[in-house]
Amino acid sequence: MAKFETPLLDDLEKGPWPSFVTDIKRQAKTKPELEDLLGQLELSYKDKETHWKHGGIVGVFGYGGGVIGRYSDMPEKFPGVAHFHTVRVNQPSGLYYSSAYLRQIMEMWERRGSGLTNMHGSTGDMVLLGTQTDQLEEIFWELTHDMNTDLGGSGGNLRTPSCCLGMSRCEYACIDAQNICHDMTQTYQDELHRPAFPYKFKIKVSGCPNDCVAAIARSDFAIIGTWRDDIRIDQAAVQGYVKGELTPNAGAHSGRDWGKFDIVKEVINLCPTKCMSWDGNALKIDNKECTRCMHCINVMPRALRPGVEKGCSILCGAKAPILEGQRLATLIVPFMKMEPPYDECKELLNKVLDWWMEHGKNRERIGELIGRVGMREFLKAAELKAIPQMVKEPRSNPYIFWEEADVPGGWERDLAAFRKKHPL
Amino acid sequence: MAKFETPLLDDLEKGPWPSFVTDIKRQAKTKPELEDLLGQLELSYKDKETHWKHGGIVGVFGYGGGVIGRYSDMPEKFPGVAHFHTVRVNQPSGLYYSSAYLRQIMEMWERRGSGLTNMHGSTGDMVLLGTQTDQLEEIFWELTHDMNTDLGGSGGNLRTPSCCLGMSRCEYACIDAQNICHDMTQTYQDELHRPAFPYKFKIKVSGCPNDCVAAIARSDFAIIGTWRDDIRIDQAAVQGYVKGELTPNAGAHSGRDWGKFDIVKEVINLCPTKCMSWDGNALKIDNKECTRCMHCINVMPRALRPGVEKGCSILCGAKAPILEGQRLATLIVPFMKMEPPYDECKELLNKVLDWWMEHGKNRERIGELIGRVGMREFLKAAELKAIPQMVKEPRSNPYIFWEEADVPGGWERDLAAFRKKHPL
Amino acid sequence: MAYDPKNPMKDRITDIGPRHYEEFMPPVIKKNFGKWLYHEILEPGVLMHKAESGDEVYTVRVAAARLMSVELIRDALNIADKHCEGYIRWTTRNNIEFMVDNKSKLEPLKADLKANPMFPIGGTGAGVTNIVHTQGWVHCHTPAIDASGIVKAVMDDLFKHFQSMDLPAQVRIALACCLNMCGAVHCSDIAILGFHRKPPFVQHDLISSICELPLAIAACPTGAIKPATVDGKKSVSVNGPRCMFCGNCYTMCPAMPLMDAEGDCVVIMVGGKISNRISAPKFSKVVIPALPSTPPRWPETVAAIRNILEVYAKNANKYERLGEWAERIGWERFFEKCNLPFDVKTIDDYTLAYDTLRTTTQFKFS
Amino acid sequence: MAYDPKNPMKDRITDIGPRHYEEFMPPVIKKNFGKWLYHEILEPGVLMHKAESGDEVYTVRVAAARLMSVELIRDALNIADKHCEGYIRWTTRNNIEFMVDNKSKLEPLKADLKANPMFPIGGTGAGVTNIVHTQGWVHCHTPAIDASGIVKAVMDDLFKHFQSMDLPAQVRIALACCLNMCGAVHCSDIAILGFHRKPPFVQHDLISSICELPLAIAACPTGAIKPATVDGKKSVSVNGPRCMFCGNCYTMCPAMPLMDAEGDCVVIMVGGKISNRISAPKFSKVVIPALPSTPPRWPETVAAIRNILEVYAKNANKYERLGEWAERIGWERFFEKCNLPFDVKTIDDYTLAYDTLRTTTQFKFS
Ligand code: SRM
Ligand code: SRM
Ligand code: SRM
Ligand code: SRM
Ligand code: SF4
Ligand code: SF4
Ligand code: SF4
Ligand code: SF4
Ligand code: SF4
Ligand code: SF4
Ligand code: SF4
Ligand code: SF4
């Protein structure tokens, strides 16, 4: 019998969506602390308030992140969750696993933790939810020694980089998102584990502009695959779509009768740059005007493919609203080739990080810093040339901060000469 | 012979555009102070700097505006322009004049001023450019007594309202812009002449969304004509355009061969809401979706006319960049009927002005005040209900300033009860 | 060899990073890495990717409540062992994917999945996939709402859209339990956001011993917190009307809690997107400033989302994301069509507010 | 009765406002007020408006240098007296309009106008009409550039576009001699803006007697001005790198002038518009941060404008305003097509800067 009555939670056992309540209840049979978790959660459902205290700083020796401290505010009532810290385990790029590896982690977590996880955290980590302070070093030891695996990030440091599945199973991938993600993670181990940053910093890598890992919205440094030559067209396959032999958008819309595929309405007219044309026989793309939005390729994956000169765009500074308001990442490099060891990319990132570490205020994300001091300072530090691709539109206010060196004659003025010309 | 050599200015006597230099030179023959003006201007052309001093406060008794003080910084060299104040004369709405009236003004200005004018100033006034302090009261006397005309605005007060020519000669006018402008000017004489405002305040009235007086860009309170029923269509005339019997856009593009008029390309497809359709016979408009942009009417003025239920939209807060950046006026009233005496409009304006006078900081335009405290406060003061027409899009940050009254249970909290639930 | 607390540095291994992803790839994936030609969605939840080599990989995607027990994961691994050569993957939205390299293996796999109600198949194409979400009352200290419970309630209600592809475009729903927005709801088609509406109260008797007062004061972006002396003790006072409920003070100082059963609410935001397809990525916009937080099923939230989703599904064009639709018809029409009251609180008054105000006479009448 | 300085309040008349506009309307205008049916542009500068009554009014529009002498105005009035029953009007862009109520009166009117080079006919339709501008060195104390002279130079160069209607749409040019922008150049297709580039210098010896120092300090929006003591006298110091050259300090305190022959420059902004036609009103954008101020003909400015105008004329669609064209092709293309270098200074770093940055992978390669 359950330790606590959980009438409210029990209601969440109904319905077709997988129930975490059902799941936790089953696990609670072997992991009694989860009874306390359910008890406390039920209380929250009743109180409509959380019963977790403000987290304290806990962790493993020598690491500044990877563990989130968590304590119940009712430890007497729910002793099993008095301590209930999170361990963030760095996920493998692309989120593929062997069952052997996962079984190892699961076994360890059943032994040393609550047996509850998040697969995965919003940043990408495998999140092991709920353990005691005295278990942390043990867990870390086992992870590193027995599972050849490390902790992920938390706090004011580099956060665990993440990526879409990229080339492993996607025909659209223009860069090897997984390799880049893994390589960056390895290169920046120190930044990941030993906070020296003003605040958190996130790297995400998507293989193409569909951006399946939400890099543009959720990373300080977003690497997004693209191409700079021509979209490859298989005209026969285009005909296949037009004739109805091939299903548009790979069948993504097949749950509804949208009528016969209409290439003009569905592709030509929806192209944001209107750079496509269709004369009934051949599809033409004015590639110079294409902004590689992916729409036409998404609709006709068997007929269209990204070009062959592939690389990435780099965008910088996305974040959630706290504190200065949400930002999407903004374009800083339109195109960069991405071949291991990705030196050009890392050199750029190093410059960006150095500048941020020098100028960023406590708890100021890089996007906010750019917002505070302006792109000009950022570009100087990143040694990037200003190009119009960086903006949607040029400034509409004239408030340019001219620098003395740019103004003929500098800023020194001869007062006497001025007053001779212009008596007061 | 001219008093000063003006080789630089002389160059501006060449070319097809009317030359102000030629004009001033001619006038200088009877108005020798203009010799000094040319001399000083030539010096500016040489120095590439102005030779006018920071203006002092001059004016006519009891008025806080209408005159701009101006002094040369080289009065010895150019005594004729030692004082060179501007008199702003309130223009008649729509800028029509009888020659009798203008001749009267010109005669006076030749006698008491420099004989130089601006027809008109950017705000709309007739600008009489250049007179001495001792002439100001005389000029004012003659203007009011002999010409039945008053000064315009300047300084921190209501500025001279202005308007497009509206119903006097334009088929698009949805409101009587001139009458509204005149009526507002008369109603707010006190505000115009006796500064009690934090800063300047401008009213402009355009008869339709073409906005020929730039109200949306240049006025704190913009009244712009519109309609809320259906565009009137004369299908026969539509055919006339389609057949090439009528010239599109009244001939505004006839200087170039743009090919045969194509109603689909030139009207249907350019309609911003895509609410029009053309089946080869009849033009249809889904008027509920029309945003009254005027494009189709501008292109086919003989076939299309604004509806018959006319009134205005009111927008608030346009300004130039100083200091907080430029603003366009923002929509506050989507539709208001406009019949004399325009009480509803004036009641609204009074509320807006009262609020601004109470809360506006020194040199803070109403747009900046709205920017500083938010639309919520503005709408409360203006007693307007928030409607989605006021925004392009809803907020994307969640930083809502909730008010205590809107939150269940208010803001008072019971610390003891809280700590009982959540021990520290 | 095991951890020795007395000698923590002995044989310590650090900075090794995650396991290399190649170790975990099914053979067909590894073999055809970077050589995929195209894909097809065979049915909701089932993808086929074709490689240049002619190889095919069949993927079955199933939902998961991201909050998963070790046992449930083992259930999934058992299936992976049985059908997928011991490989499995998760998606970036917390679904699970099982892959087989031959069509003949597909039906047996599906059969085993269907046998377990914890693994419903779906989540592909123009439908509603898994909700990205956060901790809520299960683990966080700042939430205004729960996470997993609301997700469950909403997905129960929208379940048919998880298992069909009948919407104009994909609809991504996300939830964040406070405006730190760990769920990154700021760019979602539909977002559920937990929000506090009572300014922090101050534990005057203890604050000066628990917190650095200057840090607490500096934490407030609106300057609502000022030093104060209460009952002879150093403390702070909060100017309620200046508070925008960001919670930054509580993050910096636990003696200033905001949470309150009555005040905490659900904010509904819509119209965001991330992909660069057709239109640029967009932020979600606040369209319902507050719904009550009503466990265990949050019926108001569930109903609001269903309503918006249905109106969108009925009205939008093929390929049109929710935000693209709202922009095309105009937000005034969005409110009208969804029958939502327009609240002054949805008008922006933060730093970029000007850019959201309507600076044209173009609008539609309601 | 005349003004008596010894008795200024005697018989004083105030607050009477302007003359009523009806007094000044030509009879045909008055008669058909509010009853106009349509109009036609018969040729550049000549409009015909048709009234419901069947009446027609023919309008001939002529250019004027807004800076006009009494004598020149009388020249215009003479023509109005001869042809237009003594009526005349100015447009909102400082052109003059002569109206006749019968087609037969048109040619004689035009003939007299053509006889006077000060009254060139034009300024209608899809061409370049008069430049809205400000005082410049003729009357103002804060200009960075002249006004009337640059306008003359530019319009001499673009004169054929004043007298033809061969552009894709109307092109409105405006000039403001300082960033107070009395010319309201912030919403023009092409804008010429005078700009100071040297921070104010401080007349330390006199400032404290001429200005209220706290006001001068408070005037600065960037906080670049700080109190200072120089040679024992109270004064202020200016932190040059923080100055954005707004000139507000000089407006508040004449002992802090910014103007400088070398520093003062011309900024070119483009792409603004006011009408609500097709697209919403837009701000002009800075595309050339500085051209030298080179009287008497400002050839760099003239050439820059001609270049932009010609590229626009060649590339834009019918009805497409300059800013609409730039947005359609993308600003990166605009710079390329106009062969303009892109300068970091054209990237916004003021309060709404974020909204101008590119937050998508969508862009065109140069
Ligand atoms: C666990 C996780 C949520 C989840 O359920 O998945 C999480 C949990 C917390 N986040 Fe987060 N964030 C998590 C991903 C995110 C994301 C999403 C992402 O990374 O893509 C964001 C939005 C993107 C961004 O970084 O802007 C995010 C934006 C924040 C913020 C606001 C940061 C900002 O600059 O706006 C805070 C506030 C803070 O740092 O003080 C925050 C703070 C927190 C804290 C540490 C609460 C706090 O104030 O100390 C939460 C601890 C909860 C707990 O009890 O475990 N979390 N946080 C995610 C990390 C798991 C992982 O490592 O995989
Ligand atoms: C005469 C005129 C320019 C012209 O050549 O036409 C003018 C001239 C001056 N303006 Fe203006 N403004 C004139 C129309 C405008 C306009 C256009 C409009 O009204 O449509 C604007 C932009 C719209 C707006 O109001 O925002 C304008 C925006 C400014 C500003 C910036 C105001 C702002 O809030 O951004 C200033 C600065 C100030 O007030 O300190 C200013 C200040 C000035 C001063 C008074 C200079 C000063 O700092 O004291 C100028 C006196 C010049 C002189 O010697 O006569 N003037 N000023 C215009 C008035 C004539 C008239 O009454 O018809
Ligand atoms: C598996 C996954 C990547 C991963 O590494 O895990 C993935 C896989 C695919 N995505 Fe994605 N996307 C995945 C998250 C995303 C995200 C990120 C997110 O939602 O947080 C986005 C951006 C969402 C947004 O815009 O708000 C995303 C936006 C797209 C798009 C653009 C769709 C649009 O209409 O804007 C496409 C193109 C398409 O669907 O045709 C796409 C296309 C695809 C394709 C068709 C790529 C391919 O050829 O294989 C994959 C199957 C799509 C499907 O499920 O119908 N993927 N995709 C992610 C599955 C999440 C899930 O479990 O549901
Ligand atoms: C006379 C004048 C009004 C006045 O009260 O003085 C006027 C008169 C007319 N305007 Fe205008 N507009 C006048 C200033 C404006 C302004 C204000 C400005 O430029 O400062 C604008 C807004 C400019 C902008 O958008 O930046 C303006 C935007 C329009 C438009 C919209 C054009 C567009 O493509 O966006 C139209 C419609 C059209 O041209 O078909 C229009 C249409 C007209 C019509 C056709 C209205 C009519 O049926 O009579 C008039 C003749 C147009 C022509 O000249 O080709 N009028 N018109 C102004 C003449 C100025 C001049 O001397 O050149
Ligand atoms: S981002 Fe592009 S490459 Fe990566 S999974 Fe999505 S569609 Fe494929
Ligand atoms: S990728 Fe996008 S922009 Fe390029 S051709 Fe296809 S639809 Fe057009
Ligand atoms: S604003 Fe409209 S009504 Fe007024 S003149 Fe222009 S087109 Fe005519
Ligand atoms: S006025 Fe504009 S929005 Fe309305 S139908 Fe005509 S073109 Fe379309
Ligand atoms: S969104 Fe807020 S409450 Fe939820 S996990 Fe993140 S920090 Fe905690
Ligand atoms: S919640 Fe935010 S705004 Fe309110 S007092 Fe705390 S820090 Fe200030
Ligand atoms: S723009 Fe500046 S310099 Fe020119 S008239 Fe206006 S205030 Fe004077
Ligand atoms: S010009 Fe403007 S920014 Fe520069 S010092 Fe003066 S007030 Fe400050």
CA distance C269 to C348: 13
- Tell me the CATH number at B266: 3.30.70.20
Low-confidence ranges of chain D (pLDDT < 70): 1
Contact A325 B397 (CB under 8 A): yes
**Centre of ligand 11 from the C-alpha of residue B188, in Å:** 26
- Angle at CA B128, nearest 5°, toward B102 and D116? 55
pLDDT above 80: residue A281: yes
Tokens of C13: 């291994």
Among B119, B146, B173, the domain boundary falls at B146
User: Is residue D248 within a helix (H) or strand (E), and if so which, with residue range?
Assistant: helix D248-252
Is the separation of the CB atoms in C177 and C134 below 8 Å? yes
Closest of B209, B392, B204, B210 to residue B316, by C-alpha: B204
pLDDT band at A211 (very low <50, low <70, confident <90, very high): very high
Q: Are residues B202 and B323 in the same domain?
A: yes
- Shortest distance between the Cα of A169 and any Cα of chain B, in A, equals 34
CA torsion sign, B34 to B36 to B38 to B40?
A: negative
Centre of ligand 4 to C-alpha D121, Å, is 16
The pLDDT assigned to D183 comes to: 83
Same domain for B327 and B268, yes or no, is no
Q: Encoding tokens for residue A325?
A: 């308001």
Distance CA C100, CA C2 (A): 38
Tell me how far the alpha carbon of residue C9 is from its chain's centroid: 39
**Does B73 reside within a domain?**
yes
Pinpoint the alpha helices (H) of D6-54.
27-31
Q: Do both B379 and B354 map to the same domain?
A: yes
Distance CA B232, CA A279 (A): 37
Assess contact for C141 and A70: CB atoms under 8 A.
yes
Q: Position C126: which residue type?
A: A
Distance (angstroms) between ligand 7 centre and the Cα of A121 equals 59
Concatenated DSSP letters of C290-318: EEE--TTT-HHHHHHHHHHHHHHHHHSPT
Q: What is the DSSP letter of A319?
A: B
* pLDDT computed for residue B56 by the predictor: 77
Q: Which residues neighbour A302 within 8 Å (Cβ) at sequence distance 6 or greater?
A: A234, A237, A240, A241, A246, C37, C38
Q: What is the CATH number of the domain that holds A373?
A: 3.30.413.10
Q: Which residues pair with B336 in a beta bridge?
A: B312
Beta strand B162-163 pairing with B203-206: parallel
Whether residues A203 and A248 share a domain: the answer is no
| B179 and B66 in a common domain | no
Identify the CATH number of the domain in which residue A63 sits: 3.30.70.2500
- Predicted pLDDT of residue A57: 85
Asked if C143 and C135 count as a contact pair (C-beta separation under 8 A), the reply is: yes
Q: What is the pLDDT of residue B424?
A: 82
Q: Please give the Cα distance from A252 to B182 (Å, whole number).
A: 62
Q: Quick: pLDDT tens for B86-103.
A: 999 999 999 999 999 999
pLDDT given for residue D22 in this prediction: 98
**Band of pLDDT at residue C309, cut at 50, 70 and 90:** very high
CA-to-CA distance for A124 and C182, rounded, in angstroms? Answer: 11
Instruction: For D177-192, write each residue's pLDDT tens digit.
Output: 999 999 879 999 999 9
pLDDT tens string B302-327: 999 999 999 999 999 999 998 889 99
Q: Which of A121, A146, A171 is the last residue of a domain?
A: A146
- CB contact under 8 Å between D276 and C361, yes or no, is yes
Q: Which chains touch D (3 or more CB pairs under 8 A)?
A: A, B, C
Residue C273 has what pLDDT?
98
Average pLDDT taken over every residue of chain D: 97
Say which of B293, B401, B422 has its CB closest to residue C244: B401
Greatest alpha-carbon pair distance for chain C in Å reads 80
Q: In what order do the strands lie in the sheet with C67-69?
A: A67-68, A85-89, A126-131, A116-119, C67-69
Spatial separation of the C-alpha atoms in residues D54 and B103, rounded to whole Å: 33
User: Which residue in C159, C169, C78 sits closest to C116, CA to CA?
Assistant: C78
B288/B267 same-domain check? yes
Does B403 map to a domain? no
Name the CA dihedral angle for A69, B399, B412, C295, rounded to a multiple of 10 degrees: -60
Q: Give me the pLDDT at residue C2, please.
A: 85
Query: Do the domain assignments include residue A226?
Result: no
Of the residues B224, B274, B368, B411, the best mutation for testing chain C's interface (the one with the most C CB atoms within 10 Å of its CB) is B411
Does the pLDDT value for residue B253 go beyond 90?
A: yes
> Residue B387: which residues within 8 A CB-CB, separation 6 or more?
B334, C332, C342, C366
Domain co-membership, A30 together with A74 = yes
* Measured distance CA(D168)–CA(D5) in Å, rounded: 58
**Nearest residue to B307 (alpha-carbon basis) of B319, B294, B316, B320:** B294
B131 in any annotated domain = yes
| Domain identity same for A202 and A125 | no
Extract the tokens encoding A412: 């020194």
A394 and A386 Cβ atoms separated by less than 8 Å: no
| pLDDT tens-place string over residues D261-285 | 999 999 999 999 999 999 999 999 9
Residue numbers in C near B327 (CB within 8 A): 354, 359
B199 and B257 belong to one structural domain: no
Average pLDDT over residues A399-421: 94
Q: Is A210 in the pocket of ligand 5 (CB under 6 A)?
A: yes
**Inter-residue long-range contacts of C208-214, CB under 8 Å, 24+ positions, other chains counted:** C208/C233, C208/C234, C208/C235, C210/B424, C210/C253, C210/C254, C210/C255, C211/C252, C211/C253, C211/C254, C211/C255, C211/C256, C212/C253
As a whole number, the mean pLDDT across chain A is 97
Residue found under tokens 């080179």? D294
At residue C183 the predicted structure's pLDDT band, cuts being 50, 70 and 90, is confident
**Which ligand places an atom closest to the C-alpha of D239?**
12
What is the C-alpha separation between C201 and C213, in angstroms, rounded? 14
- Centre of ligand 7 to C-alpha B165, Å, is 7
Tell whether B420 lies on the interface with A, counting CB pairs under 8 A. Answer: no
Segments forming the whole domain that contains residue A108: 7-146
- What's the pLDDT tens digit per position in A171-184? 999 999 999 999 99
pLDDT tier at A267 (50, 70, 90 boundaries)?
very high
Pairing of strands B86-89, B67-68: antiparallel
- CA-closest residue to ligand 11 atom 7: D180
Average pLDDT over residues A308-331: 96
Cβ separation of C156 and A17 shorter than 8 Å?
yes
**Tokens (6 digits) for D351:** 């309060």
The structure tokens listed for B99 are: 């020659």
B51–A325 CB contact, under 8 Å: no
Do residues D225 and D240 make contact, with C-beta atoms less than 8 angstroms apart?
A: no
Residue of chain D nearest B106, judged by CA positions: D70
Picking from B250, B305, B169, the residue whose alpha carbon sits closest to that of residue D59 is B169
Residues B50 and D194 sit within 8 Å (Cβ to Cβ): no
Predicted pLDDT of residue C148: 98
User: What type of residue is D335?
Assistant: F
Tell me the β-bridge partners of A116: C69
Q: What is the DSSP string of B64-85?
A: SSSEE--BBS-TTT-GGGSB--
Q: Is C303 on the interface with B (CB under 8 A)?
A: no
pLDDT, mean over chain C: 97
Tokens found for residue C179: 């405006």
Measured CA to CA in angstroms, residue C180 lies from A338, C144, C154, C204, C284 at distances of: 33, 11, 21, 26, 15
Residue A340 has pLDDT above 90, yes or no: yes
A55 pLDDT higher than 90: no
Q: Tokens for B306?
A: 């604004």
pLDDT score, position C65 = 97
CA of D136 to the centre of ligand 11 (A): 6
Burial of D329 (0-12, 13-18, 19+ CB in 10 A): middle
Please compute the mean of the pLDDT values over residues A122-143 and round it to a whole number. 97
- Residue B100: how many CB atoms within 10 A of its CB? 13
Residue ID of nearest Cα to ligand 9 atom 4:
C177
- Going by pLDDT thresholds of 50, 70 and 90, the confidence category of residue A238 is very high
Shortest CA distance to B291 belongs to which of B255, B238, B334, B261?
Answer: B334
Is residue A300 in a domain?
Answer: yes
Subunits close to B (at least 3 CB pairs below 8 A): A, C, D
Task: Provide the β-strand partners of residue B163.
Answer: B205
Q: How far is CA D241 from each of CA A31, D122, D235, rounded to the nearest angstrom? A: 63, 46, 19
**Is the CB of C344 inside 8 Å of chain B's CB atoms?**
yes
Query: Mean pLDDT across chain B, nearest whole number?
Result: 97
- Same domain as B320, residue B298: no
What do you get for the CA distance between the two ends of chain C, in Å?
73
CB count within 10 Å of CB A13 equals 14
Residue A1 has pLDDT above 80, yes or no: no
Residue where a domain stops, chosen among A305, A331, A359: A305
Task: Report yes or no: D58 and D99 within 8 Å, Cβ to Cβ.
Answer: yes
Does residue B62's CB lie within 6 angstroms of at least one atom of ligand 8?
A: no
Residue B1 pLDDT level (bands cut at 50, 70, 90) = confident
Question: Do both A206 and A329 map to the same domain?
Answer: yes
Is D240 an 8 Å CB contact of chain B?
no
A239: three-class secondary structure by DSSP: helix
Tell me, yes or no, whether A40 lies in a domain: yes
Given CB atoms, is C342 within the 8 Å cutoff of chain B? yes
Per residue in C222-244, pLDDT tens? 999 999 999 999 999 999 999 99
* B103 within domain boundaries: yes
- ipTM > 0.95 (yes/no): yes
Mutate to test the pocket of ligand 12, among D195, D207, D211, D222 (most ligand atoms within 8 A of CB): D222
How many distinct structural domains can be found in chain A? 3
If asked whether residues A37 and A107 sit together in one domain, one would say yes
In this prediction, residue A49 carries a pLDDT of: 97
Structural domain includes residue B210: yes
pLDDT tens digit sequence for C245-296: 999 999 899 999 999 999 999 999 999 999 999 999 999 999 999 999 999 9
Residue C249 and residue C220 in contact, taking contact as beta carbons nearer than 8 Å? yes
For chain A, the chains sharing at least 3 beta-carbon pairs closer than 8 angstroms are B, C, D
Contact B326 A73 (CB under 8 A): no
Among B205, B399, B404, most C C-beta atoms within 10 A, so best to mutate, is B399
Chain B residues near residue D176 by CB distance under 8 angstroms: 320
Residue among A153, A143, A144 nearest A113 (CA): A143
Q: For residues C306 and B54, which has the higher predicted lDDT (pLDDT)?
A: C306
Cβ within 8 Å, pair A96-C29 = yes
